[in-house]
Chain A
């Protein structure tokens, strides 16, 4: 079983749409959670950390459900520039190990 599972997509949405990505993780000892963004042929970059109480950064909202071992990312008012692959990342603190999902591809169309 994979440590982190994501729907690979692609999600094809029009500009202005709201889109949500989900991710599940298998290790209950996981302590820190992140969403990374990866543009085509570029390195992954941190989009936002995910906190237990949920957190928002502009048009982006991240939620964590520890009981269900589930993480989500909501993007409101999608922009063309949001087109990218979104990687769900889980950190296992004991050894500071990062586990990556396979990524969800988003295409925002005019």
Chain B
């Protein structure tokens, strides 16, 4: 079974530039998550989708971050404009159903300089 696919793996941008990340969840997984993980911390939920609807985006900095999941399958997360403090690993995860484990992609390591 193919896992969660993410791209790119690494990205270096200057502050105030924009960047986009892509995620393709495991086939059939209705729930998709975007997490931000800063070095030394646990993953922090940015946004959660159920199919193509948003379940929770309470911790998404909406002045600069946006995400969509068109057609309830793959998803993109965008940052515009980026700040230095956005340097982190952005993890995408998907889950097959309530109470079942979340499967993670390899993440995108973003460095903002």
- A residues contacting B by CB (< 8 A) are 4, 8, 31-32, 34, 41-46, 49, 87, 89, 91, 93, 95-103
Expressed in whole angstroms, the minimum distance between the Cβ of B90 and any Cβ of chain A is: 11
- Considering the complex, give the chain A residue whose CB is closest to the CB of B105: A43
CB of B28 within 8 Å of the partner chain: no
| Known contacts A101-B42, A102-B42, A103-B42, A96 near B98 by CB under 8 Å | yes
Q: Does the CB pair B101–A97 fall under 8 Å? A: no
Complex: A42 Cα to B3 Cα, angstroms: 14
CB of B21 within 8 Å of the partner chain: no
Complex: A97 Cα to B58 Cα, angstroms: 12
Q: Does the CB pair B95–A96 fall under 8 Å? A: yes
Expressed in whole angstroms, the minimum distance between the Cβ of A101 and any Cβ of chain B is: 5
Q: Does the CB pair A96–B101 fall under 8 Å? A: no
Known: A93-B99, A96-B48. 10 other contacts (CB 8 A): A32-B99, A34-B101, A42-B106, A89-B102, A95-B55, A97-B45, A97-B48, A98-B95, A99-B45, A100-B35
Q: How many residues of B contact A (CB 8 A)?
A: 28
Name, among B43, B98, B100, B106, the residue most crowded by chain A CB atoms within 10 Å (CB to CB): B43
- B residues contacting A by CB (< 8 A) are 31, 33, 35, 40-45, 48, 50, 55-56, 91, 93, 95, 97-107, 109
Expressed in whole angstroms, the minimum distance between the Cβ of B32 and any Cβ of chain A is: 11
Complex: A34 Cα to B93 Cα, angstroms: 15
15 A-B pairs with C-beta separation under 8 A: A31-B99, A34-B101, A43-B91, A44-B104, A46-B103, A91-B99, A93-B99, A95-B55, A96-B48, A96-B55, A96-B95, A96-B97, A98-B102, A101-B42, A102-B42
Expressed in whole angstroms, the minimum distance between the Cβ of A107 and any Cβ of chain B is: 15
Name, among B93, B97, B99, B106, the residue most crowded by chain A CB atoms within 10 Å (CB to CB): B99
